[in-house]
Amino acid sequence: MKRAFLLLAATAALSACATAPPKAPSADPGRAALVGAASMDSQRDIVLAVANPIDPPAMHAGSSLLGYAPSKFYGAGQRAAATLEALKRSYGMREVTGWPIKALELYCVVLKPPPGMSREALLNALAGDNRVQLAQPLHDYSVYTSGPPAPQDNDPYTTLQRGFIETDAALAHRFSEGDGVRVAIVDTGVDAAHPDLQGRIHDMHNMVDGNAATFNRDGHGTEVAGVIAADGDNHRGIVGMAPKATLSIYKACWYPAAAQAGARCNTFTLAKALAAIIDTDARIVNLSLGGPADPLLDKLLVHILEDGRIVVAAMPPDGSVDGFPVDAPGVIAVRVSDVAAALPGVVSAPGNDILTTQPGGGYDFTSGSSMAAPHVSGIAALLLSLSPRLDAHAIHQLLLRSSKVSDGMLQVNAASAVEALRGKQQATR
């Protein structure tokens, strides 16, 4: 079965019409782009932040939906630079890389403890230093997938898309396809050359190593992107939950050299991605990944949520809600709908045997909460396209109230969510 899919997909890829390519992945300015995240040691390195105050940006014509007015890039101000140098001298730490977080008025660095000093001892010492705004371990994170195992009825594999069918997405597309909604995907990179993602990707950024090469081997992000926004009505492959939405890709995860190893991320790469999203008008953030609680990442999530954005996160395989990002209030946590009973407020969505896009123009099945979360992000895009002022709480409640039983399981339903929103809109007119 898998071989047939790949052969069919290869044929489709060869016959694909040429379209305007998305913008090339961009290398961030500053020292951070020069250091590969894969070389960092999550068992020993720390993340430290010092105050880096900036003047408030002037508002001007062209501000985004969320009121953001882009400003010039800034790095470490004189005060931050002096503080960091003094701290490094005081404690004998060695800097790996540094980057500014404008939204929090902080400058962050990844540091190595001095030889002979444990990370715990260094963090304890820094906790009592009033020059330090934040000091914490560099944490590791991973993606949640187990790997490969209607209006769009001209897309040949639509009938094999379990999630698309079970959520009645084709019915929802009569009223909304996600037009005008930007979804930020924080994940591995995405194969932008995939025929079913042509025209759907607005911009791409590499937070891992600054390499501007294409992401044509990054499987996990390509899978997530296909579930959310694979092109519809193009006579090839599949169709996404919100096929008219556009995607912003933030590569914060990478594949270790070990064979069959899953993608991993860390505090450094995720913080850079979340900080960059704050400077955009993306309304939805998909996080099909997770790991331990993290003070810096939590600060950034709070800022993103307070901006009125919707953050959708995959539940860990063990069902825990104690780590990043599912432990942040306001985040929409998503589990696979055919596992044990969910906790109150957790959204259920299809996540097993999900057919989606693969690098190299192919298609295959994959499973995990990493695939459940983008189904919810796609439905959120359908709703925002109809009602752009919806906030995370309203969408969360709408998803829960409109969930339906499908094949014996209660899970989100795109058609009933759209119908409920349209009914509410008509009742208020």
8 Å CB contact between 332 and 310: yes
**Number of residues that this document lists for the chain:** 429
Q: What is the DSSP string of 382-393?
A: HHHHH-TT--HH
Amino acid at 66: L
Catalytic annotation, pick one of 155, 168, 187, 191: 187
Residue 220 annotated to the active site = yes
Question: Rounded to the nearest 5°, which phi and psi values hold at 402?
Answer: -95, 0
Q: Which residue reads 């698309």 in tokens?
A: 164
Give the distance from CA 49 to its chain's centroid: 23
Catalytic annotation, pick one of 220, 294, 364, 396: 220
Question: Rounded to the nearest 5°, which phi and psi values hold at 229?
Answer: -145, 25
Cis before 325 (ω within 30): yes
8 Å CB contact between 376 and 163: no
The residues that bridge with 118 in the sheet, in sequence order, are none
Catalytic annotation, pick one of 370, 385, 403, 416: 370
**187 half-sphere exposure, CB direction, 13 A CA radius:** 33
Q: Beta-strand (E) ranges in 65-194?
A: 94-101, 106-112, 134-137, 140-143, 182-187
Cβ neighbours of 211 (radius 10 Å)? 14
Cβ neighbours of 122 (radius 10 Å)? 21
d(CA 164, CA 287): 20
8 Å CB contact between 290 and 324: yes
CA-based radius of gyration for the chain: 22
Please report the sign of the dihedral spanned by the C-alpha atoms of residue 16, residue 19, residue 22, residue 24: positive
Residue 42 annotated to the active site = no
d(CA 128, CA 119): 15
Instruction: Find the helix packing angle between 295-306 and 267-278, rounded to 10°.
Output: 20
Which residues are identified as catalytic?
Answer: 187, 220, 370
